Amino acid sequence: MSQILKCLRVLGDATRVRLAALLQQGELSVNELQRITRLSQPRISTHLGMLRETGLIESRREGRRTFYRLSRSPSPGAADCLRLAILGTHETHTHRSDLVNLKRVLQLRADRAQTYFSQVAGRYDRRYGPGRSWQAFGQFLLRILPPLDIADLGSGEGLLGELLARRARKVVCVDNSRRIVQFGQRKARRNGLGNLEFRHGDMEQPPIPPRSMDLVLFSQALHHAQSPQLAIAAAHRILRIGGQILILDLLQHDFANARDLYGDTWLGFAESDLHQWLEDAGFKAIEIALVAREAEAPHFQTLLATATR
């Protein structure tokens, strides 16, 4: 079989062409390709192996990782086949999200601090140490918090707000349930937290003046919003210049029962969608990372998104 026919055969698979299109943007590892595409690592490795055998891509080792890129010296016919195949990916539904996720992954690569934190977090509870716990660790980090004006949108009964109010200048919890707001107000008074305030309202139109907050939080709340885009845009509106948004929410999943069991409106979010909504709202320095995965089925995974106004 001629080289051109071999290339056409390999490029007849949409997944292989999708991976080749990403490698056209630069050198990537299997782990990075998995983060971008959410395909399984074994599946990615298999397709990369076929592309490499045909001479369309090449690889290099760096420590324990292997990086892949398009071949720097493909045969003329193979280069033409690859160019036309990659051009066709622009018409696929995955192209836009792949480019957004590629941008996010390259940012994470540059930010080694995030990688280091993930490694530390993974080791933290591996061995017992007297007095060492996530509860104590959280209290320790809380003491570092500067005096900020914080908005917790979709706060529920305000457990997070109550904790933050012990260090923040002011915390405003917004929830659309009057009953929860009244409960939170009573609890704040009982605990002597005069800087913790509860307001009835919607996270998409929070009753907070523009440019009055230093930090806006969505803690497992955004998947209850009717329009997450509007909620993120509202967060941008109420933040001061240089203020930050933190979103802790679920990675997109297929556990449809969550709608009935937990009242969820959205079944989590794709990283590319969160990135696009933050960018559209005007946020900068956007970072999105997968920070937790539940051991029990349905194995919900948690994303942490941060950005600056």
Q: What is the pTM of this model?
A: 0.65
Residue 46 has pLDDT above 80, yes or no: yes
Q: How confident is the model at residue 204 (pLDDT cuts 50, 70, 90)?
A: very high
Residue 114 has pLDDT above 60, yes or no: no
What are the Cα distances from residue 150, in Å, to 90, 244, 248? 41, 10, 15
Q: Give the pLDDT confidence of 5-30 residue by residue, as tens digits.
A: 888 888 889 999 999 999 998 899 99
Torsion of CA 128, 130, 134, 139, to 10 degrees: -160
The token duo for 53 is: 């055998």
What does the pLDDT read at residue 190? 92
Backbone torsions φ then ψ of 274, nearest 5 degrees: -60, -45
Q: Give the pLDDT confidence of 154-173 residue by residue, as tens digits.
A: 999 888 999 899 889 999 99
The full set of domains in the chain, from first to last, is: 3-91 (1.10.10.10), 112-124+133-308 (3.40.50.150)
What does the pLDDT read at residue 112? 56
Q: Give the pLDDT confidence of 116-154 residue by residue, as tens digits.
A: 555 555 555 555 556 666 677 777 777 778 889 999 999
pLDDT mean over 95-123: 71
Mean pLDDT, the chain, rounded, equals 88
- CA distance linking residue 76 with residue 4, whole number of Å: 9
| Strand order through the sheet with 57-62 | 28-29, 65-70, 57-62
Helix (H) or strand (E) holding 291: strand 284-293
Pairing of strands 301-308, 65-70: unpaired
What does the pLDDT read at residue 123? 59
